[in-house]
Amino acid sequence: MKKTVILLSTICATAFLYISCSSDNHDEPGNSTNLTNVGASIFVDTSNEMDLNTGLLITTATSTTAKTTETPAGLCATVTISTPNGEEYPKVFLADFGTAGCKDINNLTRKGQLKVTLTGPIMETGSKMTIERIDYSINYTKLEGTIEYTNTTTVAATPQWTRKVINGKLTDIQGGVYINSGFYTTKQIAGVDTPLVLSDNVYEITEGSHKVTSANGESITLTIKEPLTKKYSCLFISKGQLKVQGEILNGVIDYGNNDCDAIYTYTQENGASYQLSM
């Protein structure tokens, strides 16, 4: 039996999971808290990808200009650029979405600031891009922590990075808290020949996992089962599978057939299938 759950909605006092408050579907895989953990996990991954896109956009868009303040096309934040040591690197980009927030190109409200620090060109082996969240939220869901994106390329034709989330914390609109951490390996499989054009970039997340723990101590771990495909031009992951392991939930998330949409499927180990949508 397949059910439908919609994420990134505002139902049942959460900003990222739709579950009918009076649901009589007693065969759901676990209680609503566990389902919310799945929603939180997907929101964490999606927000990390969004913020990486933002980091790539502002560092690439400003790489050929001497301006110290500007707003790159497609971004509703004002970006201020500085070089603390008076040299080309490290270079610090502060993307300010404002205290009232603004709607981005995907019609999502983003508030606060992202501080992006580059130790060198992002395509250069050994360079690191660090993204720090400062009083930052997406659709009123608060996000904290730091993303470290380090270039570990050994073959120039296939750029590669590690992505580490440090002190990740998500707070929903009702105050629910989800601590998260993770480590992924990412390879660029398209768009390498056009380094100043991001729209044709396609990335493959080949290995790694992340863990999300709610305030009551319940946690789930999501591990790469089949490489995930992330197109820069798509908001969501479009292909691949994650293995889900927890106290009650044990199954697989399948992102589909590479379509640029928000649909994916969770299948519990007993065969019960649930269609989800961001």
- Reported as a single tens digit per residue, the pLDDT across 225-265 is 999 999 999 988 999 999 999 988 899 999 999 998 888 88
DSSP code of 126?
T
8 A C-beta contact, residue 183 and residue 163: yes
Q: Which residue has the higher pLDDT, 1 or 12?
A: 1
Strands of 152-261, DSSP E: 160-171, 177-190, 202-214, 219-231, 239-246, 250-257
Mean pLDDT lowest for which of 15-24, 144-153, 189-198, 256-265? Answer: 15-24
User: Distance between CA atoms of 26 and 89, rounded to whole angstroms?
Assistant: 57
Percent of the chain with pLDDT over 70: 84
Residue 28 has pLDDT above 60, yes or no: no
Per-residue confidence band for 110, with pLDDT thresholds at 50, 70 and 90: very high
What's the confidence (pLDDT) of residue 35?
A: 65
What's the confidence (pLDDT) of residue 276?
A: 75
User: What residues does each domain of the chain span?
Assistant: 2-277
Placement of tokens 């591990």 in the chain: 223
What's the confidence (pLDDT) of residue 67?
A: 57
Q: Taking residues 142-156, what's their average pLDDT?
A: 97
Q: Taking residues 111-116, what's their average pLDDT?
A: 98
The CA R_g of the chain, rounded to the nearest whole Å, is 19
Residue 15 has pLDDT above 70, yes or no: no
